[in-house]
Amino acid sequence: MKLTLNRTERLARRTLGELAIDGVFRCYTLEDTVRPAGVKLPGATAIPAGTYPVQVTMSPRFGRRLPILLGVPGFTGIRIHPGNTEEDTSGCILVGEAVVDGRLARSRAAFDPLLQELEAEIAAGGSILIDIIEAWRA
């Protein structure tokens, strides 16, 4: 399974995007802002664009199974989870059904079916990759 996160809008405090699974749009995303290469403010910087393996593991912070991105240079514990604003990210990828005034709306409604689809892929013996693209540069 291939997830594609197209970062569509880079703002001062947040980055907005769209998440697709195998080329089919699933939801909107919100991350911390993308900073220049080599600049990292802990808990306030989006991860570098690139391709990363994804697993679903127990999150000690959230107390439930969540997708985690592996092998992200200079970052650890990067998860995909529900949330609405950059205050909820700490470098993670948030998902929602809509973007309203720069915030994600109906985040849990977007996240729950996404998690079910990822869990089903893993249960079937498949693997998951996420490709993060800065679409505004294309």
60-70 confidence digits (pLDDT tens): 988 999 999 99
| pTM for the predicted model, two decimal places | 0.95
- For residue 67, what are the domain limits? 2-137
Overall number of domains in the chain: 1
pLDDT exceeds cutoff 90 at 14: yes
- What residue type is assigned to position 92 of the chain? C
Q: Give residue 137's pLDDT.
A: 61
Q: Strands 2-10 and 128-134: what pairing?
A: parallel
Q: Would you state the structure tokens that stand for residue 52, as one six-digit string?
A: 């990363």
In angstroms, the CA 130 to CA 41 distance is 23
Q: Give residue 36's pLDDT.
A: 87
69-124 confidence digits (pLDDT tens): 999 999 999 999 999 999 999 899 999 999 999 999 999 999 999 999 999 999 99
Q: Strands 15-21 and 78-82: what pairing?
A: unpaired
pLDDT exceeds cutoff 60 at 138: no
Spatial contact of 66 and 118, defined as CB atoms under 8 Å apart: no
Q: What percent of the chain has pLDDT over 70?
A: 98
In angstroms, the CA 138 to CA 134 distance is 7
Q: What percent of the chain has pLDDT over 90?
A: 85
Please classify residue 136 by burial: count the beta carbons closer than 10 Å to its beta carbon, then call 0-12 exposed, 13-18 middle and 19+ buried. Answer: middle
